Structure 1
């Protein structure tokens, strides 16, 4: 088992030990007030970005409690309670925070809805043509200009080493490689790291991770370094470009963070959506589950990446290119690779 996988398991065990001791502490009953207090307390003691978000946009979790407590009544319906509690957790501005009930699951969407999409699958099909290959969740093609193009829509599925070897072997004579992770909302963190391991020849520091050690907003373990070990399979030895947009989130955010630390890799497109906290789940008295960010991940310089990672080259899809069936971001990546091949 890899050191990074061991670290993830170790942190999950610690989180469970720390959190299980304080879930629902001093909160009893199944009234609207009890469920409100339980949810607020879980976030207060276990969510990992309260201090950071106070710095960034002035989030005051105590003030949130005062404001939302006024909206809780003993006679309110269960559905109205769900609406109010969903609004409360959305104050965290975190796509990893979801309250789930029989009515549905809350979702904070502004991390991508408030920005240009910067991706079109119909325009992407103009580049893929009809003879593209799909393997292990990856779609790839050698473009007409001899640039290799790989699209990864999700890290939820595993990627086979043999599939990666064959794909990179097929592209070994290309003038450069594009890895497109736009609209990739995340998935398995180890899958993302596995793909990143194909772009380095040496052990590479890509970031740090810590975990909550107590209920205080500032109670964290010392950050543990996170490394990417080079793959034993075929590794890409030329320039590569990663394409990103605001819907590049969660483990995709982590993938882009890792790729920024790799030699010969450039990030082109829009800022990522963020989502750097490893999620953990708990439950309030009425049985609704709450998922929240519990363990923060930083970049190699110990900077927060919760609100996204800036590209090396910022590019938006232009309306003119869109009407011509062209992808401005792919075109920019191709020109970059041709110029710097």
Structure 2
């Protein structure tokens, strides 16, 4: 994974050398900002060919269609709306347009699916006497199953905290890592947690970076290697709970964990988000964020649109009425077996 982190550090320089769009060549007009944005995506976005293959995205056709909507008399809000709609054609939660009055976003990767998570049920299972370390909540459930709630990878996870968590849960029969609604954060935090579940260096995937302005201009595949942590490592079975709101760095965590021994993934397909984001600017000062560096699983398949669980399980209305979390109960059953 150190190789992967090195590429992250080099990414801005690599993109700068890879046929960058000269924003100054576009006028600060509705049409000029449109052309600047379209070209930034055309030259730097990393999934154009992949999405053409997956659902027929034709970026040139998108240009023709949206260009006709632009005119010199448009207000800022009207320009923003058209540009946002154009970006939504990419179906990418890592693509955003930032103005002083709004942020364009595409959340269809989770909005059109059941949440499979209930705050009410979570409060029942976690109780009030749970522990907290590095932002994660954990406790021993009444059947001696360890439960770790990881809601985000936004913050750094302390190695000492992980030692304390795993040592506290060590007497348990197995461990549930509840990742539901974790929309990501720092890949380094996802890696640090996953490293507690392998005893040897493990190939978990690949990544590339752009080498030029063409849609297919990429470097060779570079391996992502997960190295075992130096501290306490878990040696028993693990069930990771997922739903469609597991995204970005959390999606990567699921990718890593599926390569670790004794790990089972239960729940819904993850939301995806397999492109490391990068930012640029339009002539009017608006900032655009986009996926610039594609990542793959160890079969060299993109996880941009999510990772399937080992067992597809939904939260049922019957269980909800009975105060039971279907996913947690399914995980406990697997660990008992």
Partner of residue 249 from structure 1, selected from 244, 247, 250? 247
Give 2:235's aligned residue: 237
CA distance, structure 2, for counterparts of residue 216 and residue 2 of structure 1: 28
Secondary structure in 2 matching 1:30: coil
Which residue is equivalent to 1:145? 143
Separation in 2, partners of 1:335, 1:225: 35
1:305, distance to aligned residue in structure 2 (A): 0.3
Question: SS state of the match for residue 253, structure 2?
Answer: helix
**SS at structure 1 position matched to 2:300:** coil
Cα deviation digits, residues 81-130 of structure 1 (max 9, x gap): 00110010011000000000012100101110110100111111111111
Q: Which runs of 5+ in 1 are unaligned?
A: none
Between 8-17 and 223-232, the greater mean CA deviation after superposition: 8-17
Shift of 1:18: 2.4
- Tell me whether 1:67 sits opposite 2:60 in the alignment: no
User: In the aligned structure 2, how far is the partner of 1:239 from the partner of 1:293?
Assistant: 34
Q: Tell me the distance in 1 between the aligned counterparts of 2:89 and 2:4.
A: 32
Q: For 1:276 and 1:213, how far apart are their aligned partners in 2? A: 18
Mapped contact 2:4–2:223 kept (Cα < 8 A): no
**CA contact 1:23–1:42 (8 Å) conserved in 2:** no
Alpha-carbon offset, residue 324 of structure 1: 1.3
Over residues 308-339 of structure 1, what are the superposed CA-to-partner deviations in whole Å (9 max), with x where a residue is unaligned?
00000110000101111111001000100110
User: Could you say which residue in structure 2 is the equivalent of 1:331?
Assistant: 329
Looking at structure 2, the residues matched to 145 and 77 of structure 1 have their Cα atoms a distance apart, in angstroms, of: 61
Structure 2 residue matching 1:207: 3-state secondary structure: strand
2:281 aligned residue: 283
The SS at the match of 2:218 is coil
Residue 17 of structure 2 contacts residue 212 of structure 2 at CA under 8 Å; is this kept in 1?
no
Matches within 5 A, 1:307-322: 307-322=305-320
> Does structure 1 residue 7 correspond to structure 2 residue 7?
yes
Corresponding position: 1:23 with 2:17: no
Matches within 5 A, 1:296-311: 296-311=294-309
- Between the aligned partners of 1:104 and 1:53, the Cα distance in structure 2 is 26
Q: Tell me, what secondary structure is at the counterpart of 1:268?
A: strand
Equivalent residues of 2:17, 2:211 under 8 A apart: no
User: How far is the alpha carbon of 1:3 from its aligned partner?
Assistant: 3.7
Pairing of 1:73-222 with structure 2 (within 5 A): 73-222=71-220
2:140, 2:15 → 1: CA distance?
45
Instruction: Give how far 1:181 is off.
Output: 0.8
Cα distance 1:299–1:23, how it changes in 2: closer, same or farther (>3 A)?
Answer: farther
Give the SS at the match of 1:118: coil
Q: For 1:14, what is the secondary structure of its paired residue?
A: helix
Q: Distance in 1 between matches of 2:14 and 2:152?
A: 28
**How many aligned positions are there?**
337
Paired with 2:83 and 2:238, the residues of 1 have a C-alpha distance of: 44
| Counterparts of 1:7 and 1:73, CA distance in 2 | 40
Say if 2:222 is the partner of 1:224.
yes
Structure 1 residue ranges (4+ consecutive) displaced by more than 6 angstroms after TM superposition: none
Structure 2: how far apart are the matches of 1:233 and 1:4? Answer: 22
2: distance between equivalents of 1:269 and 1:16? 40
RMSD: 1.2
Measured in 1, the distance between the counterparts of 2:16 and 2:142 equals 51
Deviation at 1:17, TM superposition (A): 3.3
Q: 1:57 to 1:4 in 2, by over 3 A?
A: closer
TM-score scaled by length of structure 2 = 0.98
Q: Which runs of 5 or more structure 2 residues have no equivalent in the other structure?
A: none
Residue 39 of structure 2 corresponds to 41
